[in-house]
């Protein structure tokens, strides 16, 4: 078995991907079996044995251990695969590399008349980017699995009292891990897929899992609504993705990314420029939907309804990153115009999200908007051609954002589900580990030197600066991120000071206690990683990150030379100045309370409420899209409404009766009845009337004949 | 005839010719009508062993004239409930139907109203339409009884039409044409040339035809209209005076027409049977006269036989009449028809000729013997009592003699 | 007589036909309708024979047709009368307007 | 020429009388005259055989049937059944229209054929031959048809028991 794996190490990744799926399958089967045996548990011995073996009334913890173990194993395999890939990269020729790390089988063949048969394949393709991404996702997922064992502990009770939905329901511990492992499988599958169709399948699976996990507490109406919203907005993005796919399929005839890129690179591409642009926009629209970029970003803050590990895993590290990963993977497909669109979308998103994050009071909302903003950064980087910068930021961001979210998770758990920052304060003494690990995360994200955030953000800013310098009209693409970097620092430190500094303001804050070891250990590990993951010799040179060099090796052909570094290094200094000013401002306002935030809030007034209301996007979308759709729905329903019997119908009903479809159908029926009755009259049984009609007809006929005959 | 009046402009000469012929025929029928009434009375008298009319005219010859005058002067009443128009119309219908038959009846070779080549068929047709007079009369006289009488009479005549047509067909098949004139011409020569003796079937066919003809004229044994007690005189009970006489005129006319047809079809028409040649050709105009005389004599002879039958045979009931027609006459005439056809097809001429001779000789001999016996048989003296059941009954003669 | 063309005969035929139809349409007595039918058939026959007379090629057919029509008319009249009588026996009336059981 | 007009007008008038007469028996008689008129027409046209057949079959046969029918059914109340005036009007209008149309057609038809053809109409002989050769099939069919009609009519008109009270009452 091992020899089989070592012969083609690519298969390592396949096994790593399938492990969470296996875990998920096992949990599912176990749960169903228990459900089936439940009614027979008294009467049937075997059923009774099975029922209690699978956990009886109380949800089983062993299921969770099983899932976490599987995830840890796949993480180990991922890291082993990464190391093996890196050393083989040095030793083997590209052809051997291709044999070891690329493999695919066809599972469906579409015979279209005339054109060559199109094939649908399943396969994997490992290169630097994939290996790194796979390792990151696997590792972060494992951390979150371990964390959620602690976090979801109260779900293990037989009757769990749900405060928000005010009902008591059986615990759903097993189910949570089932969804999580399914999600991990689909994320991993997305990363290693070598053709767009497989990407699309996992893309949808990921969306579905996010729907399940957001709506985990489905008794709560807000959770259900949020899950719905997330799924529908994602679907809008997926529609774009599908259009892009269709165009590519029809033009290239294949989904394989490698072959598409080689066709594009080689001389005359089989696709016209216009169509290529359309495909690019389509694919990017998918990413916008998935990574919550500017037009379709409203679902991410609402997605915080799900349990915190979910937010950490899905809405920080992995799923939202999928969009950026896809843009990175299919980078050559995007023409310059599309890249410009990507850049601007990224720019707008980061600025918008940052401004909203400034005024948010809910701890998870702040982090959500910071995620949206950071994703904007990545999109901007890719848009301006900084392929390595964008993806490096993706990797580093995954770590410290996961850290921040888990930290907030333990804070919420500590304060007994209290999420409002205003009721927190002074938690650093009660929850020292969480406080200081979150401090590291905050420092990393705001780009303090020698931490991972600094390396990637600085690289982005320098690329943006270079791009801006080269084509002056796009200078705004540098200014926006610069400002946002300052704002990021400001709201992150604001969060930290509100939560941990000062005196506890709420009741729960006083009684807060440190989370158990199973939650603090992942925090510490993640803190360590968010510090040193982007290090490279010499330490002080932002462009020297070892991870960055690895990524450069995976740079797709046409993307070479696009990244324009800022020659004057001024972008780095500017970033530092802006970040420091942000930190200073936050310190003054929340740390030492020299500037009273309430005064500024009053003065800002309209601007403050505007930002708090999330730029009224929700209302806008509601008015523009949701309400007309609903109205249309009701209209057609009304149209199809069953016709109300006349005696009971009031004026409106009567109007509807006539217009409604049923009315039309009934009218049709009545009409024929009416004419039928008329015709029946004609058959009066009176022979003489028949004869007269006969005569009339004869006369008419003869008249016609005469006219024709005599006339001619 | 048309060339006689060639001096008149085109349409009128034809008209004049038709008128002349019409007048001749009508006068002949009228005269024969009168003669027949007289003959009827005389024959019935003789058969009933009485004299018949003697007072009026030499041998009561003027009796029929007297009757005519009486009838004309009689007041012709008509029942008020009846439909006046139809009541008056009926007799004329019957009359004209029988008169029209004479149009195509050849009295002599070429002496014919209008030489139709479907003459036989025409006569049949016209005679069949005579039924209407009967029906309408029956209906128009309003009373249910006359209606019954009329309908019975009509049913009888209509049903007898079928065997009559069959029997007419038989000589037509032998002659091969419907034109009576040609049929007559074919029978020139001695009496064995007559169709009667042509083959056994025609021989029987003559007698069947004669009986059926009397029936279709509503006479003799089949005149059930007058027979029923309640029907009184059947369809013409309500008629009196001149209308009644018209009916009778029609009846005698149809009798003569039928017997004339029988004469031509079976008895050689205007041939006396004694001259081997066609008289009209050889003897010129005298031949024609001879032909006409012979034909009329034959007609009258047959009418006499009808009268003879009438006063000697008992009447038949309505169902008996129908039964005889449908169960006896129809099958017989069918058989005869088939027989004649077969005879024509298969029997060689020699056999036909032999049969002619044999049958003619036998008939002649029979006739002679019959005559001799009649003339020589001693008449029963006045003293001899009444025969059979009336034995010993006192008769006026006996009483007169005894007194 | 010969200068008379085909038209008068056809006109007479047409007239008879029209009278026949009128009779059928207006008579309320079943037998009246039967008479109307007879008239119509006769009209047709007149046309047949007239055409037979004036169209040499049609001579034989015309007459044969006329004969057939006459015979058929007789048959038809028989059946019609039988039906009328039956109707009369069953419904004690011969008025056509009463015979509307077959109405829709 | 005169003969034709006489006969034609007589037939026409009697046909009209059939329609117009109130009393059913009267119209029957007029029908009789029409039929006789028509048979005279046939004789005029030279088709003696057809004329004779018309006389025998129509006048002798059909008319007898019709008159029988009339007499058996025309009890007092059915003698004169009135029809509503508007039916009359419609009928007359339609009949008039029909007649005019057919007349125009016959005018057009008759243009080419004013003179009678030289050779006379086929006599009974040719007719007979025609019937048994070219038109044998219709001849046979007619015979079978008449047989069927005979049986049918007889069956229909057979003397049934007094119709059950239920049937006669409606």
Q: How many domains does chain C have?
A: 1
The reply to whether B23 and B110 lie within a common domain is no
Q: What is the CATH number of the domain that holds C11?
A: 1.10.287.3510
Question: A699, D97: Cβ pair inside 8 Å?
Answer: yes
pLDDT of residue C1: 41
Q: Give per-residue pLDDT as tens, B160-179.
A: 888 999 999 999 888 888 88
- The answer to whether C75 contacts chain D (CB < 8 Å) is yes
Separation between Cα atoms, residue A521 and residue B334, nearest integer Å: 132
Domain-embedded: residue B383:
no
The reply to whether B267 and B291 lie within a common domain is yes
A466 compared with A161, residue with greater pLDDT: A466
What count of other Cβ atoms lies within 10 Å of the Cβ of residue A650?
9
Least CB–CB distance from B132: residue in D32, D53, D56: D32
Q: How far is CA A169 from the centre of its chain?
A: 29
User: Coil, strand, or helix at residue B125?
Assistant: helix
CA torsion sign, A270 to A271 to A273 to A277?
negative
Containing H/E element for A125? strand A118-125
Mean pLDDT for B96-107 is 87
**Which of A675, A682, A688 is most worth mutating to test chain C (most C CB atoms within 10 A of its CB)?**
A688
Q: Is A643's pLDDT higher than 60?
A: no
Q: Name the residue among A317, A491, A297 with its Cα closest to residue A406.
A: A317
Q: How many domains does chain B have?
A: 2
Q: Residue A7: what are its φ and ψ, rounded to 5°?
A: -55, -50
Q: Give per-residue pLDDT as tens, C37-49.
A: 999 999 999 988 8
pLDDT of residue A153: 78
Q: Give per-residue pLDDT as tens, D116-169.
A: 666 667 777 788 888 888 888 888 898 999 999 989 888 887 766 554 554 444
- The answer to whether C57 contacts chain D (CB < 8 Å) is no
Separation between Cα atoms, residue A530 and residue A520, nearest integer Å: 15
Distance from CA of C35 to the nearest CA of A (A): 14
Domain boundary (B73, B100, B115) is at B73
Q: What is the CATH number of the domain that holds D32?
A: 1.20.120.1200
Question: D104, A706: Cβ pair inside 8 Å?
Answer: yes
Q: State which residues form the domain around C44.
A: 7-91
The secondary structure of chain D, three-state, reads CHHHHHHHHHHHHHHHHHHHCCCHHHHHHHHHHHHHHHHHHHHHHCCHHHHHHHHHHHHHHHHHHHHHHHHHHCCHHHHCCCCCHHHHHHHHHHHHHHHHHHHHHHHHHHCCCCCCCCCCCCCHHHHHHHHHCCCHHHHHHHHHHHHHHHHHHHHHHCCCCCCCHHHHHC
Q: State which residues form the domain around B318.
A: 79-369
The reply to whether B286 and B156 lie within a common domain is yes
Q: Name the residue among A443, A420, A314 with its Cα closest to residue A371.
A: A314
Separation between Cα atoms, residue D64 and residue B138, nearest integer Å: 13
**Residue B248, C-beta contacts closer than 8 angstroms, at least 6 positions apart:** B33, B37
> Is the ipTM, as predicted for this complex, more than 0.90?
no
CB A281 within 8 A of CB A341: yes
Domain-embedded: residue B93:
yes
Domain-embedded: residue D72:
yes
Q: Residue D108: what are its φ and ψ, rounded to 5°?
A: -65, -40
**To the nearest whole number, what is the mean pLDDT of chain A?**
81
pLDDT of residue D168: 44
Question: C104, A692: Cβ pair inside 8 Å?
Answer: no
User: Coil, strand, or helix at residue A342?
Assistant: helix
What count of other Cβ atoms lies within 10 Å of the Cβ of residue B198?
26
The reply to whether B94 and B68 lie within a common domain is no
What count of other Cβ atoms lies within 10 Å of the Cβ of residue A445?
30
The reply to whether the predicted model has a pTM over 0.80 is no
Domain-embedded: residue C13:
yes
A620 vs A235, A626, A628, B10, CA distance in Å?
19, 9, 12, 114
Ranges A616-620, B378-382, C23-27, D122-126, most confident: C23-27
Domain-embedded: residue D146:
no
Domain-embedded: residue B324:
yes
CB B127 within 8 A of CB B250: no
Q: Give per-residue pLDDT as tens, A66-84.
A: 888 888 988 898 888 888 8
Q: Residue A108: what are its φ and ψ, rounded to 5°?
A: -150, 150
CB B270 within 8 A of CB B184: yes
Q: State which residues form the domain around D31.
A: 2-102
The reply to whether B105 and B19 lie within a common domain is no
Radius of gyration for chain C, computed over Cα atoms and rounded to the nearest angstrom: 17
Token pair of A250, please? Answer: 């029809």
Q: How many domains does chain D have?
A: 1
Domain-embedded: residue B134:
yes
List, as ranges, residues 20-49 from D with C-beta within 8 Å of C: 24, 27-28, 31, 34-35, 38, 41-42, 44-47, 49
Question: A699, D98: Cβ pair inside 8 Å?
Answer: yes
- Rounded to the nearest 10 degrees, the angle between the axes of helix A387-414 and helix A546-553 is 130
CA torsion sign, B240 to B241 to B243 to B246?
positive
Instruction: List subunits contacting chain B, requiring 3 or more Cβ pairs under 8 Å.
Output: D
Question: D59, B128: Cβ pair inside 8 Å?
Answer: yes
What count of other Cβ atoms lies within 10 Å of the Cβ of residue B49?
6
**pLDDT bracket for residue D115 (50, 70, 90):** low
Q: Is A661's pLDDT higher than 90?
A: no
Domain-embedded: residue D9:
yes
Q: Give per-residue pLDDT as tens, B281-295.
A: 777 778 888 888 888
- Cross-strand pairs, A102: A125
Domain-embedded: residue D152:
no
Chain A residues within an 8 Å CB radius of C97: 686, 688
**Residue A312, C-beta contacts closer than 8 angstroms, at least 6 positions apart:** A144, A147, A401, A402, A405, A406, A409
Domain-embedded: residue B392:
no
Domain-embedded: residue B391:
no
DSSP designation for B327: I
**pLDDT bracket for residue A195 (50, 70, 90):** confident
Distance from CA of D66 to the nearest CA of A (A): 19
Which residue shows structure tokens 């109405």?
A: C103
Q: Name the residue among A79, A210, A212, A72 with its Cα closest to residue A144.
A: A72
Mean pLDDT for A314-324 is 79
Domain-embedded: residue D122:
no
Between A165-169, A236-240, B36-40, the lowest mean confidence (pLDDT) is in A165-169
List, as one string, the DSSP characters of chain C: -TT--HHHHHHHHHHHHHHHHHHHHH--BHHHHHHHHHHHHHHHHHHHHHHHHH-GGGHHHHHHHHHHHHHHHHHHHHHHHHHHHHHHHHHS--BGGG--TT--
pLDDT of residue B366: 92
């Amino acid at each position: 078995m091992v020899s089989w794996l070592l012969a083609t190490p690519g298969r390592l990744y396949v096994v790593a991907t399938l492990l969470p799926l296996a875990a998920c399958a096992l949990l599912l089967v176990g749960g169903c079996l228990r459900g089936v045996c439940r009614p027979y548990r008294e009467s049937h011995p075997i059923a009774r044995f099975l029922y209690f073996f699978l956990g009886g009334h109380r949800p089983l913890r062993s299921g969770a251990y099983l899932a976490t173990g599987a995830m840890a194993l796949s993480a180990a395999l991922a890291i082993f695969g990464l190391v093996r890939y890196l050393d083989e990269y040095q030793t083997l020729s590209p052809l051997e590399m291709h044999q070891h790390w690329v493999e695919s089988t066809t599972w469906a063949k579409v015979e279209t008349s005339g054109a060559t048969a199109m094939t649908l394949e399943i396969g994997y393709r490992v290169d630097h980017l994939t290996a790194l991404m796979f390792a990151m996702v696997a590792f972060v997922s494992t951390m979150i699995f371990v964390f959620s064992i602690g976090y979801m502990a109260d779900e293990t009770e037989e009757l769990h009292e749900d405060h928000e939905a005010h009902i008591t329901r059986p615990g759903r511990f097993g189910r949570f891990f089932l969804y999580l492992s399914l999600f991990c499988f689909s994320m991993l599958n997305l990363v290693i897929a070598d053709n767009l169709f497989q990407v699309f399948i996992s893309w949808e699976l990921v969306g579905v899992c996010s729907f399940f996990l957001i709506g985990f507490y489905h008794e709560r109406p807000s959770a259900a609504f949020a899950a719905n919203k997330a799924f529908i907005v994602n679907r809008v993005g997926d529609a774009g993705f599908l259009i892009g796919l269709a165009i590519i399929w029809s033009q290239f005839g294949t989904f394989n990314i490698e072959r598409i890129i080689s066709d594009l690179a080689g001389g005359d591409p089989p696709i016209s420029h216009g169509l290529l642009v359309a495909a690019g926009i389509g694919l990017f629209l998918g990413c916008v939907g998935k990574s919550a970029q500017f037009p379709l970003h409203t679902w991410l803050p609402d997605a915080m309804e799900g349990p915190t590990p979910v937010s950490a895993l899905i809405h920080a590290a992995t799923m939202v990153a999928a969009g950026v990963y896809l843009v990175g993977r299919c980078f050559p497909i995007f023409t310059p115009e599309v890249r410009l669109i990507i850049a601007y979308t990224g720019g707008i998103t980061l600025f918008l999200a940052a401004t909203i994050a400034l005024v948010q009071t809910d701890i998870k909302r702040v982090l959500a908007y910071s995620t949206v903003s950071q994703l904007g950064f990545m999109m901007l980087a890719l848009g301006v051609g900084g392929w390595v910068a964008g993806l490096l930021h993706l990797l580093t961001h995954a770590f410290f954002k996961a850290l921040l979210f888990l930290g907030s998770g333990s804070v919420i758990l500590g304060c007994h589900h209290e999420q409002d920052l205003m009721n927190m304060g002074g938690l650093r003494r009660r929850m020292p580990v969480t406080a200081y690990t979150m401090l590291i995360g905050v420092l990393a994200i705001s780009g303090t030197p020698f931490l991972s955030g600094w390396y990637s953000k600085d690289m982005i800013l320098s690329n943006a600066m270079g791009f801006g310098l080269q084509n002056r009209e796009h200078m705004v693409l540098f200014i926006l991120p610069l400002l946002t970097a300052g704002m990021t620092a400001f709201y992150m430190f604001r969060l930290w000071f509100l939560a941990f500094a000062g005196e506890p303001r709420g009741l729960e804050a006083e009684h807060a206690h440190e989370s158990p070891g199973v939650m603090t250990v992942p925090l510490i590990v993640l803190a360590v990683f968010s510090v040193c993951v982007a290090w490279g010799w010499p330490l002080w040179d932002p462009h020297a990150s070892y991870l960055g060099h690895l990524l450069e090796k995976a740079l797709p052909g046409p993307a070479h030379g696009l990244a324009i570094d800022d020659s004057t290094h001024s972008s780095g200094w500017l970033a530092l100045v802006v970040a420091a000013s942000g930190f200073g401002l936050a310190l003054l306002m929340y740390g030492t309370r020299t500037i009273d935030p309430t005064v500024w809030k009053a003065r800002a007034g309209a601007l403050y409420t505007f930002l708090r209301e999330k730029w009224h996007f929700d209302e806008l979308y509601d008015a523009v899209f949701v309400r007309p759709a609903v109205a249309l729905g009701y209209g057609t329903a009304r149209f199809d409404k069953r016709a109300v019997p006349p005696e009971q119908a009031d004026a409106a009903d009567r109007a509807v009766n006539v217009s409604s479809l049923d009315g039309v159908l009934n009218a049709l029926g009545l009409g024929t009845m009416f004419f039928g009755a008329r015709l029946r009259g004609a058959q009066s049984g009176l022979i003489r009337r028949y004869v007269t009609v006969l005569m009339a007809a004869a006369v008419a006929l003869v008249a016609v004949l005469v006219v024709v005959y005599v006339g001619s | 005839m048309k060339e006689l009046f060639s001096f008149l402009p085109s349409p009128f000469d034809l008209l004049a010719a038709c008128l002349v012929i019409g007048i001749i025929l009508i006068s002949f029928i009228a005269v024969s009508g009168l003669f027949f009434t007289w003959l009827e009375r005389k024959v019935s008298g003789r058969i009933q062993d009485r004299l018949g009319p003697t007072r009026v005219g030499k041998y009561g010859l003027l009796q029929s004239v007297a009757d005519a005058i009486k009838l004309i002067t009689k007041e012709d009443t008509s029942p008020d409930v009846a439909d006046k128009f139809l009541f008056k119309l009926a007799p004329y219908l019957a009359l004209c139907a029988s008169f029209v038959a004479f149009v195509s009846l050849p009295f002599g070779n070429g002496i014919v109203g209008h030489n139709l080549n479907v003459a036989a068929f025409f006569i049949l047709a016209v005679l069949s339409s005579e039924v209407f007079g009967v029906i309408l009369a029956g209906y128009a006289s309003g009373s249910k009884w006359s209606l019954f009488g009329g309908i019975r009479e009509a049913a009888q005549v209509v049903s007898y039409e079928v065997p009559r047509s069959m029997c007419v067909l038989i000589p037509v098949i032998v002659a091969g044409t419907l034109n009576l004139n040609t049929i007559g011409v074919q029978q020139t020569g001695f009496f064995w040339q007559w169709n009667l003796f042509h083959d056994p079937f025609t021989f029987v066919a003559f007698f069947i035809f004669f009986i059926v003809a009397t029936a279709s004229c509503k006479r003799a044994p089949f005149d059930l209209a007058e027979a029923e007690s309640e029907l009184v005189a059947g369809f013409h009970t309500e008629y009196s005076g001149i209308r009644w006489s018209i009916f009778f005129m029609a009846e005698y006319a149809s009798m003569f027409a039928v017997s004339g047809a029988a004469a031509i079809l079976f008895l050689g028409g205007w041939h006396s049977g004694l001259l081997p040649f066609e008289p009209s050709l050889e003897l010129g105009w005298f031949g024609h006269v001879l032909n006409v005389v012979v034909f009329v004599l034959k007609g009258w002879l047959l009418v006499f036989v009808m009268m003879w039958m009438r006063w000697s045979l008992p009447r038949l009931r309505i169902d008996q009449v129908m039964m005889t027609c449908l169960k006896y006459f129809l099958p017989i005439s069918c058989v005869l028809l088939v027989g004649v056809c077969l005879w024509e097809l298969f029997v060689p001429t020699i056999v036909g000729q032999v049969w002619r001779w044999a049958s003619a000789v036998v008939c002649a001999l029979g006739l002679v013997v019959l005559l001799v016996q009649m003339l020589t048989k001693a008449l029963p003296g006045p003293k001899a009592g009444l025969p059979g059941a009336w034995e010993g009954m006192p008769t006026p003669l006996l009483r007169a003699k005894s007194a | 007589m010969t200068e008379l063309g085909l038209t008068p005969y056809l006109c007479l035929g047409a007239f008879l036909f029209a009278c026949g139809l009128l009779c059928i349409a207006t008579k309320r007595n079943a037998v009246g309708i039967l008479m109307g039918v007879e008239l119509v058939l006769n009209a047709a026959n007149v046309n047949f024979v007239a055409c037979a007379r004036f169209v040499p090629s049609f001579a034989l057919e015309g007459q044969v047709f006329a004969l057939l029509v006459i015979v058929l008319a007789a048959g038809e009249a028989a059946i019609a009368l039988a039906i009328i009588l039956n109707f009369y026996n069953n419904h004690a009336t011969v008025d056509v307007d009463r015979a509307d059981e077959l109405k829709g | 020429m005169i003969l034709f007009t006489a006969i034609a007008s007589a037939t026409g008038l009697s046909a009209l009388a059939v329609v117009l007469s109130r009393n059913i028996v009267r119209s029957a008689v007029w029908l009789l005259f029409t039929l006789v008129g028509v048979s005279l027409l046939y004789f005029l046209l030279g088709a003696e055989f057809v004329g004779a057949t018309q006389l025998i079959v129509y006048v002798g046969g059909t008319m007898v049937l019709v008159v029988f029918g009339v007499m058996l059914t025309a009890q007092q109340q059915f003698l004169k059944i009135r029809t509503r005036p508007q039916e009359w009007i419609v009928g007359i209008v339609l009949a008039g229209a029909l007649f005019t149309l057919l007349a125009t057609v016959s005018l057009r038809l008759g243009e080419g054929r004013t003179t009678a053809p030289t050779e006379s109409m086929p006599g009974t002989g040719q007719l007979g031959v025609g019937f048994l050769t070219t038109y044998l099939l219709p001849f046979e069919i007619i015979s079978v048809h008449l047989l069927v009609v005979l049986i049918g009519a007889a069956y229909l008109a057979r003397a049934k028991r007094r119709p059950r009270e239920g049937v006669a009452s409606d």
